[in-house]
A and B are shown apart, each in its own frame.
Chain A
């Protein structure tokens, strides 16, 4: 009895000594699991009045990472990623082929990102739960200001795979959530959809009448653009000139991260003033555009509307 009590005390003191380390460890485990686990399942996504079901498949082999997301209702909506190549299908006609950066921009959670997390979120472990018949640990990230969202995550207790995630605003209202309703971890997973070679990709593109894979270019360089009002805790991760889709001119892309949420600032030269989109959203991701001279500034991030507006309003050209 004494031994059990001592063990409990020991556990309690280690847990209390640095709960952050343990909770952040979960996040690291989740990121690792997301990249290294083979799984296939169906998840339900809900945002506002919208509900969607999608099938997700993820495989890792000697060639790298392959993943696929298929919408299960409505028109065909599908994303297939093989390492750095992303195929996006929307409906019957609108098909695009994108290329993403070859190397993942940053490894999951650098020490300074964990530090940023600690500064900006109160992290706590919640109750244990079950999702899609798997035992899960829950972790809550509660922001210390209203410029970011609260997140609750359910991680599979064994693999660390994210089973369910909820994004809440400062009043505790659900902005978006998703959860697996059915999931197989490991086991036999269909591989037919994997487009493993360049020639396969080319053949497929021709068959589908897809546009050829645009040449991707990423050039890390200071852009001369200045963003004055990035919320505290968001650190600049990248600043580059890059190609986006089939746009003729390169676009400036600056990325900020607070460890959990990302904010992207895009600056693009526009020859004529077309319709400025203003504020738009996809679930917890908000996007706000405004014109600065002849440039269209667009800020995208999984942060509240006020944050993307604040950031966009503070973008200015400071000179080369």
Chain B
């Protein structure tokens, strides 16, 4: 199964094979998880800038401990697989994130800058917290989200 995922991700699987494989994937929840983890790892290897370094300390420690695997030209199915096996436990939580993104649509979540027209957008400053807190006391969305809406105030920046 792992080999098949890897082959498919590399675009080396024939169409009819792929169809059979997708059927299989749908039937096995375990395989779906592996699928998500592989994609996450693929994303991590391609664009490390977009992953927050604090997502999981053990995850970033492992990233640092295995520099050769992360070297830009070293990406091969074999290495991805090796990496996946060694890091699967620590990226389980991240699989959920990959799942979140897949749930909503195939377009990646935009970077904030892309949302803007003319004004350069910046993450809110620490001082801005005063306003965020004051606003959130009265925001109707806080009414249904409870303490989760404080995420805007305590977000990493």
Decide if B128 is an interface residue (CB 8 Å cutoff). Answer: yes
A56-B119 in contact given A49-B50, A302-B139 (Cβ < 8 Å):
no
- Which of B101, B128, B129, B143 has the most chain A CB atoms inside 10 A of its CB? B143
Is there an interface contact between B109 and A48, defined as CB atoms closer than 8 Å? yes
Size of the chain B interface, CB-CB below 8 angstroms: 59
Q: A262-B139, A264-B134 are in contact. Are A282 and B119 (CB under 8 A)?
A: no
The one of B100, B109, B120, B147 in contact with A79, judged by C-beta atoms closer than 8 angstroms, is B147
Contact between chains at B151 and A52 (CB < 8 Å): yes
Total chain A interface residues with beta-carbon distance under 8 A: 93
Within 8 Å by CB of A101, from B126, B137, B156, lies B137
Residues 199-249 of A contacting B (Cβ, < 8 Å): 237-238, 242, 244-245, 247
Majority SS at the chain A contact face: strand
Please tell me if the beta carbons of B131 and A264 are within 8 angstroms of each other in the complex: yes
Tell which of B24-32, B64-72, B110-118 binds the partner.
B110-118
* In the complex with contacts A56-B148, A178-B148, A261-B141 CB distance below 8 A: yes
In the complex, per-residue mask of A257-268: 1 if CB is within 8 Å of any chain B CB, else 0: 101111010100
CA–CA, A153 and B140, complex, Å: 14
In A46-102, the 8 Å CB interface with B consists of: 46-54, 56-58, 67-69, 71, 73-75, 77-79, 81, 86, 88, 90, 94, 96, 98, 100-101
CB neighbours of B155 from chain A (8 A): 45, 47, 50, 52, 77, 282-283
* 13 A-B contact pairs sorted by A residue (CB < 8 Å): A46-B109, A47-B112, A52-B155, A52-B156, A71-B156, A90-B154, A108-B143, A242-B134, A245-B133, A247-B130, A283-B152, A287-B128, A300-B132
State the A residues within 8 Å of B (CB).
Answer: 27, 30-31, 34-35, 43-54, 56-58, 67-69, 71, 73-75, 77-79, 81, 86, 88, 90, 94, 96, 98, 100-101, 105-106, 108-109, 113, 153, 162, 165-166, 168-169, 172-175, 177-179, 181, 237-238, 242, 244-245, 247, 251, 253, 255, 257, 259-262, 264, 266, 277-283, 285-288, 298, 300-302, 304-306, 309
